Amino acid sequence: MMGPGMMAGYGSYSGINLSDDQRAKIAEIQQETSRKQWELMGKMHEQRNQLFEPEGQGKSDAATRKAYQVMSDAHKAMFESSLDARKRIDAVFTKEQREQMRSGRHCG
């Protein structure tokens, strides 16, 4: 299962002849990234819930700002994780495969 911000599955590489080793490496990267994304998403939701608690509970502005910052940091970490996964997957490709990906010749 792919998490938010994840790259598409092998369908995106359908026109590229990947070796079994490349497929395994890409799958591992995607699984690691998915686990990170879901963990970070959970953290974001936890903080979001704190942001929107009823005001009558006496929550200070500082506590609300802190919850927002933690949520913001988790969102940024998700973005960074996606960039890292893209970079790691790109490194799995050969020079020719990277050229195919960049030129769009792998589609169709």
Which residue did the predictor score with more confidence, 93 or 8?
93
Q: Is pLDDT at 5 greater than 80 in this prediction?
A: no
Q: Is pLDDT at 7 greater than 50 in this prediction?
A: no
Tens of pLDDT, residue by residue over 18-41, are 999 999 999 999 999 999 999 999
Q: Give residue 75's Cα distance to chain centre.
A: 10
Q: What is the pTM of this model?
A: 0.72
Average pLDDT over residues 47-61: 72
Q: Is pLDDT at 50 greater than 80 in this prediction?
A: no
